[in-house]
Structure formats: structure tokens, C-alpha cells
Structure 1
Amino acid sequence: MSFSTLGLLPPLVSAVTEIGYQVPTAIQRAAIPVILRGGDVLGAAQTGSGKTAAFALPLLQSLLDNRNGPRQLHGLVLVPTRELAVQVGESIRKLVAHLPMHIKVAIVFGGVSINPQMMALRGGADIVVATPGRLLDLIDHNALKIGRTAMFVLDEADRLLDLGFSEELNRIIALLPPQRQNLFFSATFPPLVQALAERMLHQPERVEVLSEPVSKPDIVQRAIMVDVPHRTMLLKHLIKENQWSRVLVFVATKYAAEHVAEKLNRNGIRAAAFHGEFSQGARSEVLADFKACRLQVMVATDVAARGIDIARLPAVVNYDLPRSAVDYTHRIGRTGRAGESGVAISFVSAETEQHMRLIEKRQEIRLEREQVRGFEPEQTLPAAPANSVTDTVNGGIKGKRKSKKDKLREAAAQAASLQQS
């Protein structure tokens, strides 16, 4: 099947050809004709499946068909992170560059000065790609109005709710016009996401593509047993032994990101932290250095687990285990992309063994526990209470909320252990 068979206008077919798209992906084949019919769409697709073009092409076609008179906002795309906003916005701009109509695409996000973004919105925009907080800031500054938006795209809805944007989403949805087309995309559908979809969508058509080949990349998954205080030295050992040109290391907190990066630099390994409290400029600089191999290690929180595409990344290390099986999937999915192979290593201690088993159960995998000579663990596995699920030190299991005192105790314990590592 080619793009020309999906109902797209000739200028859009020419645009995808110009930028090198060969044939539509499964989500594009399934979603584009449905979206072009004009109804609401509920899409289930993994990151990397080609869903940006799946909603961008019909959005652009709607704009080509309907724009007349003064420019006003036609399409609003809401995403969870700054990095994803840039990625989605630039993908749309590549398509727009090959179209006969001048279409203005604005990309707005927090962490940078609002003034340049307000200036960029003067005269309006046809399409805005935004993170929730900055979108509301711009609305409050009267720099943007969304009351006549024709198409509203909610991308990675599960991640938006994971990051605590429920209140912002409610405010944004209340400002949108009642008559609009809604496109709702999510990789997973936990109860909160399902409830939001039911409230936001009107008789949606469901498009589900979860078996894309890209969602099953060539990734060797390993689990190495190690005591918590010895993780940094084991990481250093693995980097040098495997001669990784680059490795993305995931940790639980910004403190851990900065601490581990500092330890690696002291040991002669070029490393930098990457977390959500950096300014956008700092994050962009670290990411650019990592992509250009000026950094060998990027130590990141889950802000890097989605929406960041790093070509030919050989390895990912879960220094701290992720909170959920879904986050595990997105973390290890940073390697083994675009037909490349990769390795994903998880450090497992006596304290986190039960949590790792839960991740394995939900992933339907079982990894052999390895030991590296010189780093054999001395701590033994704790006895788990009968018929219970252990709440682990790395944030626990989703749905098991901790008290403030528990969180403070764990933060203190983690800081102490990091000082030893």
C-alpha cells in the first residue's frame, strides 16, 4: 500500500515522498483514512510507530481544505514533554516545507522565556504543538486563543497523566470549542486514561496497532545482581569492558542523576546529568552533546524515557529500576531503534528483587540473574510477606502510594547509599 491510496491530497503525497517516507506504517494505514472521515479517533500505538505522521497528515489536509480568511488556530497538539514537543513540531514542519500553502507551525513549551514564544505567535498560527503548562501561560497572557480550534490532538495521554497534568488538561479542554475533532493517542490505557478518553471523545473509532515490528526491537535484556553501594563502580566496569561509545543510564531522582554523573567524571568517563529541573537550554545542550558523542554517558530521570530519539545507542542501564513495567518498556526502547541492536541492563539488588519480578511478570519475561566477578552481592534476598507485593525503594509500584514519612526515610536512605557508591 502507498500513501496515495489513503485518500491524501496530491501535495501531501508529494511531501511525504520528498522527505523520504517510502510506505505507510501500520498505524498510518489504519488511522489516516479514519481521521480523514472527520470523526473522533481513539488510537493505541507505541512510541516510534509513526503516529506523528498518522495525525499530522490528516491535520494538514484539513487545513489545506478549509483555511480561508485571516489565520486562526486550526490544530492543537498537546504533548507531555519539551523534547516530544520539539520532535513532533519539527516533523510537522518538515511536511509543511514541501506544501504549496504557507502554514505556520508554532512549538511552545516551558523552561525557557515566554517572550520569544509570544512574539512568534503574533499574527496567529495554523498549528500549535504545546506542553500543557506553557499553553495555559500563553492563553493567560492573551497570546493565544483556542476557542475555534478545529482539531485537537492529545498525544501520549498516559504520560501526560503520569506527569500530573490532569488539572491542566481539564482547563484546556474547557476552553476548546464544543464542536471539534478529537484525536486521542496513548500507548497504554490505565483507568485514568480510559476515563479521560470517555469524557473527551464522542463516539470515537478505535485504531489499535500494538504489534508494529518497531515495538519489538532487537534488544538483549540482562539483569545483574549487585549491592546498592557498588552500582557506580559496576557501571564504570561495564562501560570500559564493553567499550560502549555511549550509554543512557536511568536513575530515580535528579539527585541521583547529578551524583552518578559526578562520580563517573571523577573516574575519567565523560558524563552529564539530564533531568526535568534543568532549563530547556541546558537539556538541549546535554542532549546535543550526547548525540554527537561528546558525552559518553547521559544519566537521566524518566524525562528521557519517551520522545527522545537517539540513533545507534548501543546500551541502556537501569541503575534504578523503573516504577512500572510500562516505564521499563519505554526506557529500554531508547536502544535497538531503526533496525539496530542494543542491550538493556538492569541492576537488581536484594531490596529490589521483588519489584524486578513484578516487572518481569507484567512483561511476560524471565531474565537470568547474572553476577559480575568482583561485584558479587553480599546482601541476601529479604523474606517477602505471604500473599503480598513488596513495595520497593525506587518509588514503589504504581498504585501503592507511600506516606510522606516513608518517602523522607527512603530519600535519606538513598542519599546515604549513594554517598557510599
Structure 2
Amino acid sequence: MKSNLSAVSVVAAACVGALALSTGLTPGEARAQAGGRAYAIQGDCDGRPATGVRTAPGYCLGLVWQGAGRDGPRMPRGLTPLEDGDWLVTDLGAWEAGKGAVWRLSFAADGAARWRRLAGGLSMPHTVKRGPDGRIYVSEMNRILTLDPDAADAQASVRTVIGDLPDNRLHDNRHPLSSFVFDGNGDLLVNVGAPSDRCLDAAGKPKTDARGACVEDAATAQVRRHAYLGNGRWAEDSTVFASGLRNSIALVRHPSGTMLQAENSVDLDTPDHPYDEINVLTQGRHYGWPYCVDLTTPLPGWPARQARCNERERPIALLPPHAAPLDLVYYEGAMFPELQGRLLMTWHGFRRTAGRIVAVETDEAGRPLTDIGGRYAVYPRGSLSYPAGAPSVNGKVLTPGWDRIAGRHPRGSPVTMATAPDGSIWVTDDRSRAILRIARPQE
């Protein structure tokens, strides 16, 4: 027993040393991180330290950076590459207003991460994208802003583009984060999350207006369209693009014009219900919240006569329960030709579906191809399957082993992805304060 403990100590010390070297932490900081949600290093992943996460054959998951000290984001969420090889990363900071930031990530000659905070004091920033005018845009809880990452004083360059979004002050069951996507004509499509889980009162009864509809359904739980006015300006007033959407953090537009949304469904305690969703968004359609889940199932608390599920738009595909999809990206990089045109999605999750990045086959319009009655690759022996006749995504799990393994790695919490110029796929992990990279393992 003593010799086994000594061997474990040697391995742990080696992992701490490797973590400190690869991430720029001091050995003490790396040791503290290793006691929590550290990624131990096991070899090389296309020039980056390889994690021990089991991936699909032909892929590896490398560690770009993992934080433990004061430098760098506390809760990395969105990321996008810059032309000079640097990256922009949004930092949620905390689940409260004023703690967020936007950081610029660069690398020293030895590969060590270097961070510079461009803007602070933000309220839960999430999405960061380059707009049709070439400028950088960021979503906060209650506004869309732009900033110049190359300015000598980037904080001074911050300008509100769309203000007065609903200020969903955080408490249980609210969905305060904002996200956006640009339409083909430059319009901004902005999500507004639902202010509750199921629109029920304290007694579990529906909160309804005179028409019997949820009182929260008219102005929230929707995706809004803000018309592009040109030259970095958008209309403050908006129209409702699609409604009945509880939490539309994950939005993506295909070059054909197809608009997809990944729905984080309600938080019932049952591990096998309800299913999360992929929806094709169409102008003016209602997608079910808070009345219906799955295909035509009324939510507990909403009688079928009020839910009217047959009148709601059905999802194109169901995802595993509580997968919590937080990002959708069409892959167009060169590193993985087999993924060209596929839809990548992150499953942030809090049950067994957490830690998965899935590549889904699509048709020419970018719509996911589906199986009927498929089973979950992430559950043992297919113990949970989709309802009879329900469409499930036809995809490949790139990170099937991203579960917690003591001493090796935490359960993954992937948030957003971005394709690097070399075709590798970069991923943020907010719970582990890490940035990772999917690449080809070296032969």
C-alpha cells in the first residue's frame, strides 16, 4: 500500500508540474487548481498539452489555458479569434451585475498565455462576434455593445448599440444572459430569456392574462429582430421574430438563411424528461414555452386545453434531457474535412449528458438530419431512448469521455466554440476556468 501511495504522489506531482508549465501558473497555483477542477497533462495534442479526456478516434483535446490566479477570466464564456492570432474572451465574472469583463488573449514565444483586460464592470457578458461592418460586438445582460480591441484605451471605446433590453435581475429560474446572431441583411436577432421556469405562481398554478395565456409570454421568452440601419447602427425598437423560447443562448444562421435555436428546456427533477430541443426558427412562430415540451406534451401545471400543443411549432430534433446546449457552430475549417458543413453543439449539462461536443450531420440548408427513436450514446447500453416517433439528432460525439475522472480531469462544462484559422476547434469551460482546443493528434 505504501508503494502505491508513493507512486500516486509522484504522478500527481508530475501533473502539477506539467499544469504549471503549460498554463503559466506558479507551482503553488497549479497545486491549488489540481485539488479542484484541474486538467492533468498527458502528452501532446498538436503542439498543446494533451488532456486525458477520451475523444473520438482521430481527435484530441488540448489545454490552451487554465486559470488559478488573478490574471485572466474567472468564468470564460464567449470567444472569437482576431487576425493577429490573438483571441477575445468574454468573462461572466459572476452571476451578478458588474463583475464581467472582456479580455484579450495573446501568447508569448514559449506559448504561455498573456492576458489583457480590455473592458470591465460589465453585467454578465456572453456572446462576442464580429459584425457585418467588421467591428466587434458583445452581449451583456441588458444591452449589446461594441468596442475596439486595438484601441489604446479599449474601455473608453465601449459604446452601446442596443440598450434597454429586459434587465432580468437574477434569482431562481430566471435566464438573464443575452445572445445574438446577425441575419443575412445585417439585422440583429437578440434572445430575451424567460423570467421564470414554467410561468407558475407559488401555488403551482399558471400565471395567465384574460386570454388564458402566460403573462410573461408577450414580452419575454423570444428572439427579437433589430433592423440594421448601417454604419454600426441598429434600431432600438424591435419586432418579435420567434416566441415561446425559454432560453435561446445558442443561435446560429446557416449561409442558406436557415436559423437554428437550441432550447434549454424546463428544470423538472426527472433525469429522463423533458428533452432539450433544436428548433428551426421561422418568423412569427411560437415554439411552446411555457405550455409544451418534447413534441406535443403539456408541461405539468398547464392543462392541455390551455397548452394547445398541437398549435405550437414542433422541434426539428430532440436532444437528451438536461443536455443544456449553449452553442451552435457550422464547421468550415480545414483540419477536419470529415466535419465540413456539420453542425457542432456544446452540451454544458448538469447530468450525464454534460461535457459533450457533438457534430451533427445536416442537409444542404443546414437543417440537422435525424433518426427516429434513436438512443443516447452518452447513456450506458442505451438505457434512455427518445419517445416513439421522435426525431433525434444524427451525430458524432467528439468528446465521449469528458466525465469526471479523479486525478485526471473534471466533467466538462463546454460553453462556446470558435474555429481557429488552422481549423482547430477552441472551447471555453466556465466551471473549470479553462480554454481547450480540439485538434488532430500527432502521428
Larger strand share, 1 or 2: 2
Q: How high is the TM-score relative to the length of structure 2?
A: 0.25
Larger helix share, 1 or 2: 1
Bigger RCO of structures 1 and 2 (CA < 8 A, at least 6 apart)? 1
